[in-house]
Structure 1
Amino acid sequence: MASTNRSPFERLRNQYNEVDLVCPKCGYDDADGEWQAVTTGGVVQYRHICPSCGSIRRRTISLGP
C-alpha cells in the first residue's frame, strides 16, 4: 500500500520515475533509472541523465512569485 505521508514533490518525482524514463534524444529506456530532485527553496528542479547518451533532461517548478 502506498504511503499517504509523501510530499507533493516526492509524488511528482515518483510519477516521473514511472512514466518518463525513455530518453527523447536516443530512445534509451532507463528502466532502472530515476529522476533526482534538488531544491533551492524557491525552485525545485528534477533532473534525469540518460546513461546511454548523457542527455540531461530537466523539469523545473517555481514555488513563488
Structure 2
Amino acid sequence: MASTHRSPFERLRTQYNDVDLVCPSCGYDDEDGEWQAATAGRTVQYRHVCPSCGAIRRRTLSLDS
C-alpha cells in the first residue's frame, strides 16, 4: 500500500526496486538489491550496481520547467 507521506521520488525508487532489478548485461536477478537516488539541483539520478558483474545502470530525471 502506498503511503501518502512518501515523495514522488521515493515512490519512483520503490517502483524501480519492485520491477527493475534484473541486470540487462548478465541477467542476474538482484532480489535483495535496491536503486539509490541522488539529487543535484534540478536533476534526480537513480543508480543500480549489479553485484554480479558490476554493471551500472542509471535513470536520470530532469526537473526543468
Which bracket does the TM-score occupy, shorter chain normalised? over 0.9
Distance (Å, rounded) in 2 between the aligned partners of 1:12 and 1:32: 17
Q: How many angstroms does 1:33 deviate by? A: 0.1
CA distances 1:17-41 after superposition (whole Å, capped 9, x unpaired): 0000000000000000000000002
Name 1:26's counterpart in structure 2. 26
Please give the TM-score of this superposition, normalised by the length of structure 1.
Answer: 0.95
Q: How many angstroms does 1:2 deviate by? A: 3.4
CA distances 1:14-63 after superposition (whole Å, capped 9, x unpaired): 00000000000000000000000000021000000000000000000000
Name 2:38's counterpart in structure 1. 38
Instruction: List structure 1 segments (4+ residues) > 6 angstroms apart after TM superposition.
Output: none
Distance (Å, rounded) in 2 between the aligned partners of 1:49 and 1:30: 10
Distance (Å, rounded) in 1 between the aligned partners of 2:64 and 2:8: 15
Aligned length: 65
Percent sequence identity is: 78
